[in-house]
Amino acid sequence: MSLPRAVIRHVLSTPMSLADLQQATQVSLPTLRRAVQDLTEARWIRVVGQAEANGGRPAMLFGVDTTRFLLVGVHLQLPGMRLIAADLAGAVLDEIKLFDQVVPTPHEAVQAVADYVFHLRDMFPDRVILGVGIASPGFTDLSSGDIISIGRVPTWENFPVCRRLQAMVELPVRIANDVDCMAFAEFLHSSEPLDKNLAYVGYDEGVKVSLFLKGELYKGSLGNAGLIASHLLHAGDRPGLQDVHSLLTVIGVNQRFVQSVAALDVQAPYAEILSTSNPRARFRLILNGDDAAMPLCRALVTDLNAALAAAVANVIHIVQPDIVVIGGLLSAMPAARFAELEADIQAHLPALIGHNAIIRQGKLASQNGAAKGAILHFLQAYLGDPTVELDGVARG
């Protein structure tokens, strides 16, 4: 990797002094100064503060310049899409939600992203759009940028989404699995040590585990490793656990909730939740339902925890990660309910394995998490591609 690219990658997550950058890049100070000057003039980086003084003059800290470049993040939720525009530091400058509760065709989705890029060019005429990062469910070919298969949406098979979009907007486009993107965003946000073995459990329309083994994402040969097959999972014998699949998807929990409320004589306490049509928003309300006023929510979350605990405990048994982060929509779970989930997981584990695994709740509860992660994935690929010229910086 060229020195300018290496400098940008180093300061993306945390500001660094020249001394820190020299230690990280192992180049001479004059060479580093030239690279820093070039990047500063091209508005890739800038001075963002000062280090603590140790008797002398405090060193300047360099971070990314947030005033010139723009990146586009797309989450193909299916149903629905979320699109964001962010600066190099990840601050969201614009966002839209499209196709609410509707699954667009591949062509409709690509056209919507292209229209958004054109809109951003008009909205931010002084900024340079570097490219588009896409977070997609299902199986993707990371080298070609094709969506191979999305189980719940058969019409999205074998679609060259990156190639189509790149031709329309004339920008580089990268794609990654949406739960992997959530993990990218979470681990950068929480500054987890990437030299550890990390597992990120993402919950949405199914459960998937993203595995980072000594800092490297394990992709598998089909680019979608870590899927939890609910039909192979036994969570317990009580009646609420007989249909595990309905507990491990947002739509399934919604359907079970509606059916359970319909069987009640008194439905008034659940009126607000029932009136919320968006499945993800309703799921968050179910998670936060008051125990006393809405016992049905409490029972449903208890069953959900039991199913999740069996799935996560199996992953911990197999992989033995150092840290397990449970996120996605479960980042919105109340602390007391999450403590119960952690206890349920630990109950499945022998002491040796259970004591080693640190289980914590995701800190990034933003609905834009996957889109932000798609931008991070794009930016890492962009900076790692020697065939792409850095805007305003001489090749080298």
- Rounded to the nearest angstrom, the gap between the alpha carbon of residue 109 and the centroid of all alpha carbons in its chain is 20
Domains located in the chain, CATH noted = 3-64 (1.10.10.10), 69-171+369-384 (3.30.420.40), 191-361 (3.30.420.40)
pLDDT at 395: 64
pLDDT number for residue 55: 66
With DSSP H G I counted as helix, E B as strand and the rest as coil, what are the percentages for the chain, rounded to 5?
45, 20, 35
What DSSP designation does 158 have? T
Stretches in the chain below the pLDDT threshold 50: none
Cα(46)–Cα(37) distance, rounded to whole angstroms?
9
45-50 and 69-76 strand pairing? unpaired
Q: What is the pLDDT of residue 1?
A: 66
Burial of 132 (0-12, 13-18, 19+ CB in 10 A): buried
The H or E element containing residue 371 is helix 369-384
Assigned token pair, 360: 């914590």
- Evaluate the omega torsion of the peptide bond into residue 193 and state whether it is cis, within 30 degrees of 0: no
Angle at 187 between CA 186 and CA 190, to 5 degrees: 85
Q: What is the DSSP string of 235-296?
A: --SSGGGS-HHHHSSHHHHHHHHHHHHHT-S--GGGHHHHH---HHHHHHHHHT--TTT-HH
